[in-house]
Structure 1
């Protein structure tokens, strides 16, 4: 093999390794599933305790984030729709100083029918490399990470959103998973408020 071709071959192998490492890093090191967090409903729980017969949607939220607020109805509808198909839901709040009372009020305002976990020390958020709210993680029934990122492409930056949603990332991943098909897009860029920064005009991740 010529030196030039060998160099190209090595570069291709290296890029493939990087892609596999990036997409699998959270799924392979799944210690975050066992992190115990205070529950707004009562006893401390870990995400693995909430896994249902077919899997779990983990919504990472902040009650003060406008994007989290905007997705209130969407998250509730997704939870209700897929609960019937054996997919449970849980919300995790990586917010410094967050209280159970605030979470209960937030859950009541948006009529969320699922478990709510507090992460004031950001242990869970750091373990899964979450950076913004809202972000969603789809977990299989055998505790493997299937999808992470945005719910859809409604928002393209903080305070700016499309009139018509054209990409339903989470729904597409759920549909493929439940039908035993390959999830074509398993990682997207979440748009919202940076975790641990507090709300500000610059506290956004742009598309």
Structure 2
């Protein structure tokens, strides 16, 4: 084979591999977005390790019910940062404090009042999980698991734990089988 043919094959393989890994998110842009924590302090996220963002709403029953599941997942994977992001001006730090007091999540709660992070991530729904590796590649996005079958409808038995599976497969350096599902919940409002 000629060198030019080998070069073309190498370029094609590299571009297909990059496409197969998923879409990218700019950690640099995320690090420039100001969010507020429970104390009202401004924080930025640096992306130095794999991160799961979960879009949350304090009045969403699904979000409330997923707190123990996500807390257990965070405890099982301390190498991954977990953030519940509350998008929009409809929420205040006091609501995050009440949510924390009432539900005791084992992960960080952040307020995204200007929805800059939510827009950058392409988030549309609460709850919606977005798992990004340290390179900025979206490993998985969508449902936490298949418990909600549609808005207001829940399965009796959870058969697919999408987020947990993506974390496990990624940690084992295996391809993630399910890269995206359509989230079920309330649309992120414009407030």
Q: TM-score, normalised by structure 1?
A: 0.75
**Which secondary structure does the structure 2 equivalent of 1:71 belong to?**
helix
* Structure 2 residue runs without a partner (length 5+): 1-15
Aligned equivalent of 1:155: 148
Aligned equivalent of 2:30: 33
Instruction: Kindly indicate whether the alpha-carbon contact (under 8 Å) linking 2:149 and 2:184 is maintained by their aligned counterparts in 1.
Output: yes
State the alpha-carbon separation in 2 of the partners of residues 183 and 122 from structure 1. Answer: 28
Structure 1 residue runs of 4+, over 4 Å off?
A: 28-32
Asked whether 1:76 is paired with 2:71, we answer yes
1:44 maps to which of 42, 53, 67: 42
Provide, for residues 142-186 of structure 1, a one-character-per-residue CA deviation record: whole Å limited to 9, x for no partner: 333211111010001122100000111011101111101111111
State the alpha-carbon separation in 2 of the partners of residues 126 and 41 from structure 1. Answer: 24
Aligned equivalent of 2:8: none
State the alpha-carbon separation in 2 of the partners of residues 58 and 48 from structure 1. Answer: 13
Task: Rate the CA distance shift 1:41–1:143 in 2: closer, same or farther, 3 A.
Answer: farther
Q: TM-score, normalised by structure 2?
A: 0.81
* Structure 1 residue runs without a partner (length 5+): 1-16, 199-207
What aligned pairs does 1:114-129 form with structure 2 within 5 A after superposition? 114-129=107-122
